[in-house]
Each structure stands twice: as C-alpha cells, then as structure tokens.
Amino acid sequence: MIDLVQLRREPDEVGAALARRGVDESSVREVVALDVEHRRLLQEAESLRARVKELSRRVGEARKNKEADADQLQSEARELSDLEREARQRCDEVGENLRARLLQLPNVPSPETPDGRDENDNVEVRRWWPGMEDDQPPVEYAEWQRRPHWDVAMDLGILDLETGAKLAGSMFPLFRGDGARLLRALTAFALDRHRDAYEEIRPPSVALTETMMSTGHLPKSADDMYEIPRDDLWLIPTAEVPLTSLRRGEILDPDQLPLRYTAATACFRREAGAAGRDTRGLLRVHEFDKVELFAYCHPDHWREAFDDVLARAEGLLRALRLTYRVLDLCAGDLGTSSARTVDLEVYSPGVDRWLEVSSVSWFRDFQARRANVRFREGDSTRFVNTVNGSALAWARIWAALVETGRRPDGSVEIPEVLSGYLGGQRVIEARA
C-alpha cells in the first residue's frame, strides 16, 4: 500500500499523481479524512483510558482509606470505562475502513511513467529483430509463416485444445509430444540462463489470502483469481505472489541486498474480463507456465535490479530469435501495485499480432509494506523495494516459435539454443 505518512504530508501531490492513473482525487481526500478521524478517535480512547486508570487508582486509595466517596468514584470509573470501550470500538471501525480504502488505492506512478488513459497510450521504446545486430532490415515473413499456431500445431499433433477442454474446460491447453517437450525445454533454458545471479525457488502452486494481499492481487483482482474457499487458498496467478512473501515479516541485513530469486510455476488466471476476446489457441488461457525473476532491493538501487530483469528477458527473446518490441506503459495502464512497468511483446506472424510475453515492474515499497519486509539502516529500519518480471511466459512464446519457425513443408524449426534440451532435435515434424 502507499505510504500513509507521505499521504498525510503531501495529500495534494499524492492525489495529483494518482489522478494520472484515473483515481478520483476525492477518493484520496476521503482517505485523508478517515486518517484524521482515526487518529482523533485513537487520541480520545487513549485519553479516556488514562482517566479510567487514574480513577481506578483513586478508587483503590478510597477503599483502602475507607473514604465515603469510594462508591461514587467506582461508578464514575465504570461510566468512563464504558465510554472508553465505545470510543475504542469506533476507532477500530474507522481504522478498518481506513485500511480497506488504503488497500484499494493503487501505487503512485513514477514520474518517468508516460501519461495516458489505457493501452492505446503506451509508448513504444524500441524494436529488435533477427539480423538487426548486422544492420539487416526488419524480417519479412513468408506465406507459410502466416498460418496461426493452432492450425500448425493441430497438423503436427503437438497441441490438443479439444482434449484440454474435455479435461478442464475451455482455455486450459493440453500439449502433446514434441509440443510438451518444447515447453519443458523453454523452462530449463531460461532457468539455466538465470542461475548465475538468481536463486531458484520451487514454491507451492497455492497461496494464503495474506500472501495474495502482499502483492496487491487482493482485494482488487479477486474476480480474476481461482479461489479455494474451504482452505483459505488461492491458485497463484504468477510466481511473483510467493516470491514477494518469501521473507514476509523479516528485517534483512542491508549487505544481503539485492536478494534475487527465480521460479518456474504454472500460473492460473480466470481472465474474467476477457470473455470472447482473443481466446483462440494460446492467445489467452487460464493456465500457463512461466519463469519469474524477482528482487528485494535497496530503495536507492531499484534501477539496477529493474534493468537487470529487463535485460535478461530481452536476452532470452534475442537468443530465441524472435522479433519483439518494448513498451513503456502509461499511468492509466499500470497494474495496481506498479509504479513503473515495461512490457515486452513478440511478433507472431501467423496471427499478425504483437503478443505480451513479459512485464517488468518496479513497485517502490508498495508490496513490501503489505508483506512487512524491511532492512536495517543505522538504528532504524526501512522497507525494501521490490522488482519483478517474466523471463518468460511460455504460452505465447510457444505460439510465436511455432508460427515463426514454420517451414514450407509444414514442419517447425526449433531455435538452436533449445536443441541441447531436446537431445539435439532441431525440427518438429508430424508424427507418423
């Protein structure tokens, strides 16, 4: 959540910054008013508590000295105690309302984040294509590469959407044969590329509500998540969720920072707001595999952590020889917890579209406040900053590879960097 102290100190500045995200400034003013009321009630309750304590002391002395007004003092103490209890209850109610409102406020966008209302206002920063390093022009795709991946995959027998739907419902893909092996190879390839600086984690595929709250996925995005109410668990939408809470409630040694982690997990998303949109093939699915990069870092060094994640994600795309572009997301298109996000999109010739395959984000201390992850600085503590990004999400990468690698005879050429994970195989052909 955002820093309440900053909100008290700079309400107009925070309100103006959040207005860039489409947040009504009246909402910010209401939160500030709730905070003022909460502190007033807290002070009132503490004052009543002090008076009750003093009266109780006097009652004790009066009883000891057998003074005539002991009963009167006892009666006054009870009345004040009732008033204190009522004041404490009102304080708690306002406090809970304040926390709920704070949890609904998104992060303050970075000054570097472009202005804009939605995805149409995102700013393209650069493009890369195979051969660019040798000053070659952008790739021109052949007619045989213009076939959508679901048709290519069906011909080759490597993607079975019908059986996936039979087993789990629509938008749960089932990969077969070389298709499944390609998915496994991508994960192993990425994890090996990150092992020099990132500790590999294999977290659970479910998370407690508290864990989901830490990243900001709850309460705002509850409709997009898969819940298991009986056990107070949620299927994770990304490995960012468990990685953010890996050191929840801890005070870290500043000499340890940055702490970097990577994890390969299945990710589950309802995509509740996407009904009927982009649902063919692997364009939008309820379950997909992804390798995540995550870092706890010192607030003064978030940029280095951010740039490292972005460079690694781009490095994977270049190694896979996929054309991609980099987008700087505008304030109106940022995720709830993000202060700044850069997206990577690959070009998929069979569907003639740019497909998002990675979001690299800086969260300031927004998530760390929820997870209570701090580091020591002198005699005090500060919240860490968090950075994360996909490197990479495989469903759309898989689709782009199948379309881009398609050859005139219908087979698919596999990028050279993956051949070692496939026993030297370089081509996917139809099964006999």
Show which residues are catalytic.
269, 284, 356, 359, 396
Residue 406 and residue 38 in contact, taking contact as beta carbons nearer than 8 Å = no
Q: Which residue has the tokens 């709850």?
A: 218
The 10 Å Cβ neighbour count of residue 247 is 19
Q: In angstroms, how far is the first alpha carbon of the chain from the final one? A: 56
Closest CA to 241 of 270, 280, 208: 208
